[in-house]
Amino acid sequence: MRVFIAGVDGYLGWSLAQHLARRGHTIGGADALLRRVWVDEMGSVSAIPIVPLDERLAAFSEHFDQQLQFFALDVLDHSALRTALAEFQPDTVVHLAECPSAPYSMIDFHHADFVQRNNVSGTLSLLFAMRDQCPEAHLVKLGTMGEYGTPNLDIPEGFFEVEYRGRRERLPFPRQAGSWYHWSKVFDSHSVAFACQLWGLRATDVMQGVVYGTWCNPDTRLNTRLDFDEAFGTALNRFCCQAVISQPLMPYGQGTQKRGFLSLSDSMQCLGLAIDNPPAAGEYRVFNQLREVLSINELALIVRAAGERCGLTPEIRHQDNPRLEDEAHHYCPDSNHLRALGFRPSLPIDEVVRNMIGDLLPYRDRIASYGQRLAPTVRWRASRTVCTESPH
């Protein structure tokens, strides 16, 4: 298949391009390289160094026997996006070109506004461009498990049956997002569902849990980034970096809050399965994409044990929770659709964590020199600064 990855330079995008190329797909992609800019704005770097895009593309063609057709564009640039899709003629479009950070969206008005415009309008731009340039293509849209929040009910995959005043209906499961970022994904879900209904587009909306893991290759130009700053580092990636530089692992609050998790390679496997098994024209389907549910305390214990096996002595130190989130709650999401398509989780989490620590240890000094970026400063209820001017 011809797969167009919007956001091909990111943590998931760069890994996905390689995963799919290895499976015989022809890859094209677009990126405005904004993730590099945002992490820089947070005063941080990727723990695993990444090379400039032209070097990435050169390595890609050497290893995968194809040129990745790259379009330097922002998906908000609607006419550039239309031209790119017209030229590439994808069978599948994977939309990863969004700002993925809850804390970044909670900094102040400008960041909340930026994240929502970037994500919500970017998705609209892509939907209209697909309608006009490749209406048969399958959209794989990255959503988030965080759209659902933590309701006191089991979480189905997108829809549930409701009975109300004697009538029954299949409705979207309620969304109760916990950050301006997560709300942007909720709006996206509604836009994608509506575009399928309106124009007969076909889409898979992937409610992905928190991803962890490195993606390293002997040819380091193929490595994907791994962030650890408070905005772009996810919990387990941050804990591994903390372990490597002997900083305490930092569960927020009681650490009893639970999330769905999956490794980067399991995420690649799941996205590959969604791509290989497209829905019918007009169908909007939702996959909950996670491997297992764990509490943040369980994560910290896994990282501590893995660190000890690697000769480190990680300590766990709870931190006042900067977020507004339930710390004691029910959490039981369904995730049967991908398993029915053949998803078989790969390595267990403790093995992945040991491998991650091994991949990160050579960069210990690099991570340590940005170690102060691990401390949370963005607070959900009171911002760290009052910015009157937008950085964007």
Catalytically annotated residue among 26, 92, 144, 214? 144
Q: Which C-beta is closer to ligand USQ: that of 74 or that of 229?
A: 229
* Cα distance between residue 178 and residue 150, in whole Å: 9
- Measured in degrees and rounded to the nearest 5, phi and psi for residue 78 equal -60, -40
In angstroms, give the least distance from the CB of 272 to ligand USQ.
19
Q: Which C-beta is closer to ligand USQ: that of 74 or that of 147?
A: 147
Q: Is 209 in the site for ligand USQ (CB under 6 A)?
A: yes
Q: What is the footprint of ligand USQ within residues 313-342 (CB under 6 A)?
A: 323, 325
* Cα distance between residue 174 and residue 192, in whole Å: 16
Identify whether 258 is a catalytic site residue.
no
- Measured in degrees and rounded to the nearest 5, phi and psi for residue 236 equal -70, -35
Q: Is 289 in the site for ligand USQ (CB under 6 A)?
A: no
Catalytically annotated residue among 11, 104, 148, 181? 181
Q: Binding residue for ligand USQ (CB under 6 A) from 155, 222, 235, 262? A: 235
Residue given tokens 């908000």 in the structure block:
76
Q: Binding residue for ligand USQ (CB under 6 A) from 46, 92, 101, 288? A: 101
Q: Which C-beta is closer to ligand USQ: that of 42 or that of 235?
A: 235
Task: Name the closest residue to ligand USQ (Cβ).
Answer: 146
Residue 102, C-beta contacts closer than 8 angstroms, at least 6 positions apart? 146, 178, 179, 180, 181, 182, 323
In angstroms, give the least distance from the CB of 65 to ligand USQ.
32
Q: Binding residue for ligand USQ (CB under 6 A) from 25, 238, 337, 354? A: 238
* Cα distance between residue 34 and residue 310, in whole Å: 34
Task: Note whether 240 and 312 are within 8 A (CB).
Answer: no
In angstroms, give the least distance from the CB of 43 to ligand USQ.
16
Identify whether 181 is a catalytic site residue.
yes
* Cα distance between residue 240 and residue 120, in whole Å: 32
Alpha carbon of 223 to those of 16, 210, 214, 287, 366: distances in Å?
12, 20, 8, 27, 16
Q: Is 141 in the site for ligand USQ (CB under 6 A)?
A: no
Q: Which C-beta is closer to ligand USQ: that of 71 or that of 148?
A: 148
DSSP string across 219-272: SGGGPPP---STTT--HHHHHHHHHHTTPPB--BTTS--EEEEEEHHHHHHHHH
Q: What is the footprint of ligand USQ within residues 254-283 (CB under 6 A)?
A: 257, 259-260
Q: Binding residue for ligand USQ (CB under 6 A) from 46, 144, 223, 267? A: 144
Return the closest-CA partner of residue 264 out of 321, 301, 320, 223: 223
> What residue ranges bind ligand USQ (CB under 6 A)?
100-102, 144-146, 208-210, 234-235, 238, 250-252, 257, 259-260, 296, 323, 325
Question: Which residues belong to the active site?
Answer: 144, 181, 185
